[in-house]
């Protein structure tokens, strides 16, 4: 556990709760799922996922694993 914590130290991201709740209220996704979308949006990177609901609700941010891997 300590090794894992050392590897992750300084690589955590925190996003606005308001941004998360806004994404959740504008979609059919949970706030938990919207946290990942919010981080991807903030970092301006795609969220690679197999979650069909995220792919459907956030097509500009969520990218399927199959599409990403080619």
Average pLDDT over every residue of 1-5 = 93
The pTM (predicted TM-score) of the whole model is: 0.85
Q: Above 80 in pLDDT, residue 70?
A: no
Average pLDDT over every residue of 48-60 = 98
Residue 58 confidence (pLDDT): 98
pLDDT 10s digits, 23-36 = 999 999 999 999 99
Q: Is residue 19 situated within a structural domain?
A: yes
Average pLDDT over every residue of 7-32 = 95
Distance CA 32, CA 3 (A): 26
Any residues with CB less than 8 A from the CB of 16 and at least 6 apart, and which?
A: 38
Q: Is residue 3 situated within a structural domain?
A: no
Q: In sequence order, what E strands does the chain have?
A: 47-49, 62-64
What is the domain-level CATH number for residue 56? 3.40.50.1010
Closest CA to 33 of 50, 8, 12: 50
Average pLDDT over every residue of 14-22 = 96
- The number of domains in the chain is 1
Q: Is residue 33 situated within a structural domain?
A: yes
């Amino acid at each position: 556990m300590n090794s894992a914590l050392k590897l992750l130290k300084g690589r955590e991201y925190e996003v606005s709760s308001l941004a998360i709740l806004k994404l959740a209220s504008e979609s059919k996704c949970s706030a938990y799922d919207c946290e990942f979308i919010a981080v991807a949006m903030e970092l301006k990177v795609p969220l690679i996922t197999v979650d069909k609901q995220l792919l459907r609700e956030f097509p500009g941010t969520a990218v399927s694993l199959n599409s990403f891997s080619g």
